[in-house]
């Protein structure tokens, strides 16, 4: 059974008890459809033989920081967004992580759901939740609470099974290192100056229009964070591009632009946007010089290599019981071919399995071939041309 925690004293007791355990399982329920930042709706904890469901609408989650900062291992499943919630509400994140989604990927699971892992490794079926359930509505129903509890109920047991199989393959440290890397990813705030790169319609803009789009997109990102509202509710992508193309320098010129509605111009926004356009135009040379740099294009002669290599990676993943996305994505391959020194396939276990072999392929030292049984293999290049005709 679970305990519903709705008072400060109850939360203090939970934190004290869980902090004395060597590990604990954690999950969160949250919404962010109407906000810039995620709204915490429930925090689930499991340790030893206890499960606690903490109501963040009734208590301040700040005391959880003591547990998160402790040396205990925090077990999560696909925990990146949970870390974002915890960071916002407690000012910290767990000091040691073990992500069961990542661990499952090192055992060949390319289905990221917790339900799939529990079924495969423990033979456990958990209740199905309603994807559209309102976690912020109170009181929570018994079905909601039972579903929330099931998200952490078996996580520690699952961790034991995953770790045992990882140990047999010598991959436990891989999973620990990859879980630790999740802690280093940016959280809660995107770079406003790079926001324009996420607007598809802005990719074809040039010169003055692109500089204006960069400035407006950055302003939109900052305002969305300030008022805690989704960026597209502050100003739709189409409106950002319309402002960039038309460069309105008077308030009246904003009205009627594509994507711009009256609700977008309330609370002084109209004046802010016009002032921003004027300022950007006045400093146009500097704005163009400081524009975000797009990733360099992959040379044309290397584009066929990406398709070939990703096919080989898929085969390699099957042979080694790895999730292909965990081994290397198409973006990873392209980054390596572009000479990116920071791409993850240049380091650690990926360099041995993927990075080094790809570089040998591109340099002409290796070749991809079929082995006669329909499998792709990477082998030393013979440098002998096949006679045709």
The residues assigned a catalytic role are: 27, 29, 82, 147, 151
Are 215 and 115 a contacting pair, CB within 8 Å?
A: no
CA distance 25 to 45: 6
Return all residues near 289 (Cβ < 8 A) that are at least 6 apart: none
What is the spatial distance between Cα 223 and Cα 177, in angstroms, rounded to a whole number? Answer: 36
Give the H or E element holding residue 281: helix 269-282
Residue at token pair 């939360």: 11
Which residue reads 């047991």 in tokens? 157
- Cα-Cα-Cα-Cα dihedral of 70, 181, 150, 146, to 10°? 80
DSSP string spanning 219-265? HHHHHHHHHT--HHHHS-HHHHHHHHHH---SHHHHTTSTT--GGGG
Q: Where would I find the H helices in 6-122?
A: 8-19, 64-68, 80-90, 100-105, 114-122
């Amino acid at each position: 059974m679970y305990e519903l925690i709705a008072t400060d004293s109850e939360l203090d007791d939970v934190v004290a008890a869980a902090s004395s355990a060597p590990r604990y399982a954690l999950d969160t329920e949250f919404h962010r459809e109407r906000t810039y930042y995620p709204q915490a709706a429930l925090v689930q904890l499991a340790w030893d033989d206890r499960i606690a469901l903490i109501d963040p609408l009734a208590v301040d989650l700040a005391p959880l920081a003591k547990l998160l900062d402790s040396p205990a291992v925090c077990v999560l499943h696909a925990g990146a967004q949970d870390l974002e919630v915890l960071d916002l509400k407690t000012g910290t994140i767990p000091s040691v992580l073990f992500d069961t989604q990542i661990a499952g990927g090192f055992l060949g699971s390319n289905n990221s759901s917790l339900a799939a892992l529990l079924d495969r490794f423990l033979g456990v079926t958990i209740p199905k939740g309603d994807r559209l359930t309102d976690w912020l509505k109170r009181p929570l129903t018994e079905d909601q609470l039972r579903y929330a509890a099931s998200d952490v109920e078996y996580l520690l047991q699952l961790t034991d099974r995953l770790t045992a199989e990882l140990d047999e393959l010598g991959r436990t440290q891989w999973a620990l290192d990859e879980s630790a890397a999740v802690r280093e990813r940016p959280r809660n705030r995107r770079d406003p100056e790079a926001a324009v790169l996420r607007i598809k319609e802005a990719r074809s803009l040039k010169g003055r229009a692109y500089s204006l789009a960069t400035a407006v997109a950055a302003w939109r990102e900052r305002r969305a964070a300030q008022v805690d509202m989704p960026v597209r509710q502050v100003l739709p992508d189409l409106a950002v591009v319309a402002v960039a193309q038309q460069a309105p320098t008077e308030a009246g010129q904003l009205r009627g632009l594509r994507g711009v509605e009256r609700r977008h111009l309330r609370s002084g926004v109209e004046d802010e946007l016009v002032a921003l356009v004027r300022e950007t135009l006045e400093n146009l040379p500097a704005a163009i010089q400081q524009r975000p740099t797009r990733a360099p294009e992959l040379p044309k002669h290397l584009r066929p290599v990406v398709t070939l290599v990703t096919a080989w990676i898929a085969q390699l993943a099957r042979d080694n019981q790895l999730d292909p996305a965990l081994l290397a994505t198409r973006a990873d391959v392209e980054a390596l071919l572009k000479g990116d020194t920071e791409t993850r396939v240049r380091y650690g276990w990926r360099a041995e399995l993927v990075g080094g072999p790809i570089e040998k392929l591109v340099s002409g030292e290796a070749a991809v071939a079929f082995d006669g049984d329909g499998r792709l293999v990477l082998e030393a290049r013979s440098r002998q041309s096949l006679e045709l005709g």
